[in-house]
Amino acid sequence: MNIIEVVILSIIEGLTEFLPISSTGHLILTAKILNIPQTSFVKSLEIFIQLGAIIAVIIIYGSTIWKNKEMILKITTAFLPTALIGLLLYRYIKDVLLGNSLITVAALFSGGIILIVLEKFRKKTSPLIKGVEMISYKSAIMIGVFQSMSVVPGVSRAAATIIGGIMTGLSRKTSVEFSFILAIPTMIAAALFDLYKERFQFNGAEIRLLLIGIILSFIWAIIGIKFLLKFTEKYSLIPFGWYRIIIAVLFFFFFLY
């Protein structure tokens, strides 16, 4: 794997991590287009460069979280379902699901339909929770259950948590912000657990590539976060739903059919 490929993947990761379009799905499809073999290191890279996006969230929301100690407990509660699934299915997720283009395309397509249907239905109801500090533990655990579905590449962690939030009565903006914050323990745990499982078997060149990826994903994640916050203030998530469907269809017919 060369530095140009790492740069491309890192920019895509940073931009798409917090958008409801699946960063992992985009990384898998991009790797397929660039003919990057899905080696153990490539899969580890796809996990580790998410740390750059997490650093971006910590910088933006760190003080808010620190001032509200109860929010830390709610985030921990929401994180538990994904932690359990990750522990039980780690090897299956990494060896079978990650890198599977067909599963990714199917998840992108179906997730797009769900986003569109959800937003159409949402117009008929008024959200009850407008602020992350108002989220209950019950809502937090429900959102966590939705997030656990994102172990399937193409589902999108952001989409799953945002959908879970909206379905439990959160406003779109609150769902998006909680999705950002919930990413912190989820991605840190994923990276550390992968590091433990792989016994840190990376050589000097691979470590440099990982660091470059983390730095670039950090820069582009800040851009992605600010874009999504501004976008959701004026528009619904329907455009992201159509985007997912179009990308899935195009990739299927050009690369899988």
Q: Confidence class of residue 141 from pLDDT cuts 50, 70 and 90?
A: very high
CA angle 35, 22, 7 (to 5 degrees): 45
84: helix, coil or strand? helix
Where does the pLDDT of residue 195 fall: very low under 50, low under 70, confident under 90, or very high at 90 and above? confident
Number of structural domains found in the chain? 1
H helix runs in 123-203, sequence order: 137-148, 157-167, 172-197
Q: Is the pLDDT of residue 126 over 70?
A: no
pLDDT for 93 equals 87
* Residue 126 and residue 155 in contact, taking contact as beta carbons nearer than 8 Å: no
Report which residue type is found at 202: F
Which residue range forms the structural domain that includes residue 19? 3-256
**Confidence (pLDDT) at 123:** 62
Tokens standing for residue 177: 């912000």
**pLDDT value, residue 37:** 86
**Measured between alpha carbons, how far is 127 from 139 in angstroms, rounded to an integer?**
13
Q: What is the pLDDT of residue 55?
A: 93
Q: What b-and-e string marks burial along 118-148, b requiring 16 or more CB atoms within 10 Å of the CB?
A: bbeebeeeebebeebeebeeebbbbbbebbb
Question: Please, are residues 219 and 17 in contact by the beta-carbon 8 Å criterion?
Answer: no
pLDDT band at residue 90 using 50, 70 and 90 as cut-offs: confident
CB 197 within 8 A of CB 187: no
Q: Is the pLDDT of residue 122 over 90?
A: no
Q: Does residue 136 register a pLDDT over 80?
A: yes
pTM (predicted TM-score)? 0.86
Mean pLDDT of the chain: 88
Report the percent of the chain where pLDDT is more than 70: 96
How far is it, in rounded angstroms, from Cα 19 to Cα 226? 11
SS3 143: helix
